[in-house]
A = this chain, B = another copy of it.
Amino acid sequence: MQTHAAKRVEITIERVMQSRLTDALSAAGVTGYTILPVYGGSGRSGPWSRSGQVSKAGGMVQVVCIIRPDRLDALLESAFAVVERHIGVVCITDCDVLRAERF
């Protein structure tokens, strides 16, 4: 089938920063993203898990954006401004999509 080159950006970020990130993405014109729950993880600040937690602190989410390659830089800059002082991982992959008109 006909596919189109795109970029898949996966931003793993603290839950408390989620709305700030998505606001920044929207401001940068990125309105398409999907948010995945994250159950736990580990990093320089040690392992963590959401089980039994009530507070929003101490959890993360994964925001996945699929965008046209030419819009990648705008996305990364707006995301970086939010993530900069916070823990979080930004990971970019090449991908192909169906229905390119959507991105």
Pair B22/A34 contact, Cβ less than 8 Å: no
Chain B residues in 8 Å Cβ range of A73: 1
Distance (whole angstroms) from the CB of A34 to the closest CB of chain B: 4
Chain A 91-102 per-residue mask, 1 if CB under 8 angstroms from chain B, else 0 = 111111111001
Interface hits, A57-103 → B, CB 8 Å:
60-62, 66, 73, 76-77, 80, 83, 89-99, 102
Given A92-B3, A95-B93, is A47 in contact with B22 using a C-beta cutoff of 8 Å?
Answer: yes
Chain A interface residue bracket vs B: 35 or more
Number of copies: 3
Expressed in whole angstroms, the Cα–Cα distance for A39 and B42 within the complex equals 21
Interface string of A1-30 (1 = CB under 8 A from B): 101001010101000000000100010000
A: which residues have CB within 8 A of B? Answer: 1, 3, 6, 8, 10, 12, 22, 26, 31-44, 47, 49, 60-62, 66, 73, 76-77, 80, 83, 89-99, 102
